[in-house]
Structure 1
């Protein structure tokens, strides 16, 4: 017997963008569908009202994730992305707001309690502040950690390193010491090529591959009159069948200095006595 569910197995995007955009009204800045996903960019101060509207009036009951994105070239470099799920419609939408280091985003812990942990993660990794979050502490990095690891300008090795000191019997924090200078990245695509010389490239002196190598004179190939005359002086020995009437040459003299073995007595067929068993058995 087939079981029918109220939520469809696959939910289409037909009409969703237009309906939700009309409901958001002046709070909406941009709406688009990319790669089969609908996303809305709204005003930062209106994020709580927009998410309440989607939860109460359009059945997007669950806040699945809050993610951060860093765009260093923008005036407001950060984007906070809220991912919502409708359990009854089996459909997802994304809502985005922009922020900078000193422009807090209103908290949505008043709508979903799990938003507190998610906002703490975005704060820890990117440094985005959430106005109204009463427990905005780091959640992934260590106590006293400096900086925000998911920012594009944060070095891969970090600024400090920790180790356990046997002398002091405790964990010691020290500045990172690298064998080479700390590289600074310009965020340029590696396929476009850099306009500066990387360390070590100045030593490379590669010949041009577009110019084929040619031998324009016999001197470059090693041939010539001198080489021909020198080759004519070396004549190999003739074959044995021509020099000695068709007979093969004598074998070479032995080089071993051990004495020759004594001649064997008897014939090779006289082995009956040697193979006769002892005790007189026949």
Structure 2
């Protein structure tokens, strides 16, 4: 008996890498399978042809995502990664190309319109150029931003900041103004004692030190702590006294368990009738009135 399911049938990965490698031919640079995914590296100038072939002949219909990666030690430091999805086979593959700051990557907006936004994001964050993209503008950073934040050599702090000036009606650069009073972080715990005055302790540092105690109070004698034979005798007296207050008397017995107590007698009083407040009272039946007989009636 066949079972029908709304989800697409999943095709195994066995032989998928060899099939895709044979289909790409000389456009393929390297192919591998790792972490449960097939990764294909193709030539940069042939990326549009390679993705078109994977879309039209291998059923990878959708471009799900594009991402950039930076390897500063490489000659071609950037990688552009394309994530493709096959709806008919429920497969996902990754296609990569390598480039640098000067050599642009051919755009794939001719294949998938959503690639325009994704290419703009990679350009904004990494500085990768895409040849053929007619709207290659920044998409995440501010107007007039200089640099690309996701590069591994992008400075984390600087001496210039940009903001929109309402007076000049444009984005202006100006020296960084730090609003924080303390910028030297020594990671020293204040409970261990810092070599500087912590914020909020200025008044405590200026206050005069308290005078030293002339005679420190000690509790070496029993009379100072309340201990001794007198205190012990008084405590034993309270323990020896029986609970009923009589010398030599026995403590009262514990109450009988609940199960052995006799049942209570039912109450004699009757509860009030609450039918009128909970149910609709029925109207009394009308009494039949008998007509008096007349003289002519027998």
Q: Residues 156-210 of structure 1: CA distance to partner in whole angstroms, max 9, x if unpaired?
A: 246643457798798753233569xxxxxxxxxxxxxxxxxxx979xxxxxxxxx
Q: Structure 1 residues 155 and 5 mapped into 2: Cα distance closer, same or farther (>3 Å)?
A: same
TM-score normalized with structure 2 length: 0.56
Match of 2:251 in 1: none
Quick one: distance in 1 between partners of 2:46 and 2:166?
54
Pairing of 1:63-212 with structure 2 (within 5 A): 63-157=63-157, 160-162=160-162, 172-176=172-176
TM-score normalized with structure 1 length: 0.59
Match of 1:38 in 2: 38
Indicate if the aligned counterparts of 1:107 and 1:131 stay in contact, CA closer than 8 A.
yes
Indicate if the aligned counterparts of 1:161 and 1:176 stay in contact, CA closer than 8 A.
yes
Shift of 1:135: 0.8
Q: Residues 32-54 of structure 1: CA distance to partner in whole angstroms, max 9, x if unpaired?
A: 01100100001000100100000
Indicate if the aligned counterparts of 2:164 and 2:172 stay in contact, CA closer than 8 A.
yes
Give unmatched runs, 5+ long, in structure 1. 180-198, 202-236, 240-246, 249-282
Query: In terms of mean alpha carbon deviation, does 29-38 or 164-173 score higher?
Result: 164-173
DSSP-derived class of the 1:82 partner = strand
Quick one: distance in 2 between partners of 1:169 and 1:43?
45
Matched, 1:7 2:4: no
Indicate if the aligned counterparts of 1:106 and 1:130 stay in contact, CA closer than 8 A.
yes
Quick one: distance in 1 between partners of 2:70 and 2:82?
15
Match of 2:205 in 1: none
Give 4+ residue runs of structure 1 displaced > 3 Å after superposition. 157-160, 162-173, 175-179
Indicate if the aligned counterparts of 1:83 and 1:95 stay in contact, CA closer than 8 A.
yes
TM-align CA RMSD: 3.4
Q: Which has the larger radius of gyration?
A: 2
Give unmatched runs, 5+ long, in structure 2. 180-184, 188-219, 223-228, 231-298
Quick one: distance in 1 between partners of 2:143 and 2:164?
16
Indicate if the aligned counterparts of 1:157 and 1:176 stay in contact, CA closer than 8 A.
no
Quick one: distance in 1 between partners of 2:159 and 2:92?
39
DSSP-derived class of the 2:66 partner = strand
Indicate if the aligned counterparts of 2:145 and 2:162 stay in contact, CA closer than 8 A.
no
